[in-house]
Structure 1
Amino acid sequence: MRPPGSRLRPGAVFFVLLAMALSALAVGLLMVDGIGEAIIGKRQREVAEAARDYFVAFAHEEGLAPLARALDLRERTDPGGGFRYALYAADGRLLGGARLEAREPLPASGAARLDILADGRGSPWRVLVQPLSVGGALVVYEDIGERIAFRRALVASAGVALLAAVGAVLLAALWFNSLLLRRMETLAATARRIADGDLSARTEVHPKGDVFDRLGEAMNGMLDRIEELMTGMRTVTDSLAHDLRSPLTRMRADLARAMQPDLPQDARLDAIEQAHDEADRALSTLSALMDIARAEAGLSRDMMAPLDLAALAAEVGELFAPVIEDAGQTFVAPDPRPALIVKGHELILRQAVGNLLHNAAHHAGQGAVVRLAVEDVPGRIRIVVADTGPGIAPEHRGRVRERFVRLDAARSRPGGGLGLAIAAACAKLHGGALELEDAHPGLRAVIDLPAQSLGRPPPDSVMTAP
């Protein structure tokens, strides 16, 4: 069920885009109008001032009468132009040129805007009055009605072009908005399915690999991890309910037997000791599960620090050598080698290597040879525990790395089936994997780690192992 207020509203998006488009259109038209007017006005003023200067110079050289005849000739040959000229005497009489306006309404000097009736129609004119030193005044008339009409045509054509461009952009924006909503709705639908309890839900990822596909891949990876953790938690819960019930039941039975008042003292102490052993097994199982959970969740990364992996393997091998020899087996320690400084979780690495040696001691059988080695190959670091025992059938090698999995041959021996699970979680914590291989005969258990992720030191920092 979609929560209130979360419904996508394409109509609101449309009106927002429309308002933005209209604003952009208005700004564009204002800019075209303002810039066009400024350019045309500047050009026209330059023309009017140039004509004024020319006729003023003509009057100074030839006099007023020749200038009046020249203006009359121009008026006859080019009537109705955008620029028209008139020459007035000092008393206000028109000496020559355009008969548009009497002298009185005109300014004494400078520019002004007037509405003048010409050719039977009224239109706005800009006049530029220049008094002459030889007497009288020169008037330059500019018909700005044509300029206004041209500006309107320019604005209209620009408006049509801008409207077409804005329309195209608006359609593209609506299409992109629709695409965006569809892709986001896909992600939201996946999230709703997850919220409803369907942990197998995944978002659709297209092969084109755009930003939404990358987001979908990241989301699917996150969901894979969540499902893995949830499945692991359910497995741990179910396994605890199954595997801890027996030791707790036996411990309760032993304690109940120890509480019998008529039980002999030796039998009472024996029952208490058995209950103590059962409590130790339960605590060991819980501790191992906590180690696995912390490693798989990545919570142990904050405890990683540089350590000598070669020295660590040698120390763990020395610790487990007596256990292997007590089992009637031969232990081959790793060869002495220069220090291999890596960044890792020392406690979990020790526990993982120890579990592999412990499993070999328990399952390889008498007379087997158990070897511990550290292999430094290009790009990889491999901690190898190999034995010459019966090994594990290929079809079971995947299962035995899971929690509480014990093969039929091992069910008669004590243990919780967590040794290989801890080693696998340790390898995963360090960015690697636990591999189980055939040793011909026997089993090779390999903690395979990427060397680069462990931060290998440069050659001059390598130390010699003790």
Structure 2
Amino acid sequence: MKARAPPPRLRPGLVGSVLLAVALAAMLIGGFVIDRAGEAILSARQKDVAESARDYFVAFAHEEGLAPLARALDRRERAEHDEAFRYALFSDDGDLVGGAQLATAAQLPGPGFWTLDLRSGEHVSSWQVLVQPISTGGTLVVFEDLSARAEFRSAIVGASFAALAVALGSVVLAGLWLNRLVYRRAESIAAVSACIVSGDLSARASADPQGDVFDRLGMGMNAMLDRNEELLTGLRTVSDSLAHDLRSPLTRMKGALSRALAADASVSDRLDAIAQAWEEADRALATTSALLDIARAETGVSRDMFERIDLQALVADTVELFAPVIEDAGQDLKVTLPGQPLFLQAHELLVRQALGNLLFNASRYAGEGADVVVSLSEGPGFVEVVVADSGPGIPEVDRGRVQERFVRLDTARTTTGSGLGLAIAAACAKLHRGSLDLQDNGPGLRVVMRIPRGGTDPTPQN
């Protein structure tokens, strides 16, 4: 495989050099364009002036005659010797009869516009001449000093270059400042990435919700890092808790199998030991399955199993399934459901499992004689499944903690269980972009699982 050349790096010096080169190129091109455009505009304007002067003096000659025109041109020459435009009148014989003595008749070409280099002593200058024969006799010549035009062009180009230099200098400085700003913002995000790579999962980028695109990038990166940290923390918790919680059933399973293999064990003892090992294995498999369900729900993988379900029918079926369990616990079950189907996109098995866990918890911890109330209602854009009981409830300080994996309160440790029931319900709500809220039922516990109807798009999101 051929080695790839390293990509160019965006250094401040390189950016400055590029900006300076672009600025110089822009100045040269801008100066050239301004010079050419100015020359074209000025040439057209001066040509119009020359033609206007020609028309005026020709009309004057027709009305007043050549002699008065010659005297008028002489007076003008004496009064405005330094003007850009000068005028001369020649007779039909080629003699200068009035005006500027810049050229002889022999030096003049035919009628029209021409450019001539005329000598005055040791000085040679360029002139644009307009030769116009007069119908009454003689020839009128309009001279334009091109050096004056060149000086005017130089002044325009110089002023334009100065303006371009100031503007482009400002652009270069602004570009350098912007590059420094972008470089510093990108460096701050890169520093956070370096911290994450080094093992500091708590590092976050500074971000303002009302800021620029880098703030939005930082917020997106922080959200991703929060999610990654949450998943990694959950993975550690699952690993630690799984090792802890599976140790007991596996130890009991090993002890039961040891008794079954004892040489002096009776057939009855061996069967009892095998039955106990079976129960422990079943409990370990149930715990592992519940953890897999939670993991799939929290990562969004289970969204590919979304389908259109009738939540009203699902709640009714689940309540009917758990009604005997609640009755055996000596509790009173009440159900409030809407009279019509309630359709939405959801993960049917997980919703059924979450509701079953809530009902099972109520039957186990609410106590004998408690009331268990199940209701389903629809709000603006969401549905709510509520399971409430009149038992001892859960202290407010523990209501968030009990939704985590393997968390069991002291009052629940006297009974069997894995501490995953509420965790599965919370993961189900999260999968559907909803919420699981534990409230005081006064007395007892009120569990509200809210699922947005517009937020249950079955398309998996990366």
TM-score (norm. length: structure 1): 0.88
Which amino acid counterpart does residue 279 of structure 1 have in structure 2? A
- Kept in 1: contact 2:338–2:376 (CA 8 A): no
Which stretch shows the higher mean deviation, 391-400 or 87-96?
A: 87-96
Shift of 1:256: 4.9
Q: Give the alignment partner of residue 428 of structure 1, picking from 424, 427, 430.
A: 430
Does the alignment pair 1:54 with 2:75?
no
Q: Say if 1:6 and 1:280 are closer, same or farther in 2 by CA, change over 3 A.
A: farther
In 2: Cα distance, 1:332 partner to 1:408 partner: 29
Partner of 1:32: 34
Once superposed, what is the RMSD of the aligned Cα atoms? Answer: 2.6
Deviations 1:2-21 (A, max 9, x none): xx879651111111121222
Shift of 1:236: 0.9
Partner of 2:3: none
In 1: Cα distance, 2:380 partner to 2:63 partner: 100
In 2: Cα distance, 1:25 partner to 1:185 partner: 33
Partner of 1:392: 394
Which stretch shows the higher mean deviation, 383-392 or 444-453?
A: 444-453
Q: Secondary structure at the match of 1:138?
A: strand
Which amino acid counterpart does residue 101 of structure 1 have in structure 2? A
Which stretch shows the higher mean deviation, 212-221 or 67-76?
A: 67-76
Deviations 1:274-328 (A, max 9, x none): 3332222222112111111111112223333333222221111011111212233
- Kept in 2: contact 1:313–1:334 (CA 8 A): no
Q: Mapping of 1:417-456 within 5 angstroms? A: 417-450=419-452, 452-453=454-455
In 2: Cα distance, 1:299 partner to 1:406 partner: 27
Which amino acid counterpart does residue 284 of structure 1 have in structure 2? A
In 2: Cα distance, 1:149 partner to 1:119 partner: 22
Q: Give the alignment partner of residue 100 of structure 1, picking from 99, 102, 115.
A: 102
Shift of 1:99: 1.2
Q: Give the alignment partner of residue 90 of structure 2, picking from 84, 88, 91.
A: 88
Partner of 1:289: 291
Does the alignment pair 1:238 with 2:237?
no
In 2: Cα distance, 1:429 partner to 1:446 partner: 15
Partner of 1:200: 202
Q: Secondary structure at the match of 1:199?
A: coil
Deviations 1:142-185 (A, max 9, x none): 01111110111121122222222222222222222222222221
Q: Give the alignment partner of residue 305 of structure 1, picking from 307, 321, 327.
A: 307
Shift of 1:332: 1.7
Partner of 1:155: 157
Deviations 1:28-81 (A, max 9, x none): 323332332222221110011112223334445555444434333332333232
In 2: Cα distance, 1:207 partner to 1:367 partner: 52
Q: Give the alignment partner of residue 412 of structure 1, picking from 405, 414, 420.
A: 414
Shift of 1:257: 4.6
Does the alignment pair 1:111 with 2:113?
yes
Q: Secondary structure at the match of 2:161?
A: helix
TM-score (norm. length: structure 2): 0.89
Does the alignment pair 1:326 with 2:328?
yes
Partner of 2:372: 370
Q: Secondary structure at the match of 2:433?
A: coil
In 2: Cα distance, 1:418 partner to 1:207 partner: 36
The unaligned stretches of length 5 or more in structure 2 are: 1-5, 458-462
Deviations 1:382-409 (A, max 9, x none): 2111122222233322221110111223
Which amino acid counterpart does residue 147 of structure 1 have in structure 2? R
Partner of 1:181: 183
In 2: Cα distance, 1:221 partner to 1:124 partner: 75
Deviations 1:156-215 (A, max 9, x none): 122222222222222222222222222221111111111211110011234763332232
The percent of aligned pairs where both chains have the same amino acid is: 58
Q: Secondary structure at the match of 1:431?
A: coil
Partner of 1:43: 45
Partner of 1:130: 132
Does the alignment pair 1:145 with 2:141?
no
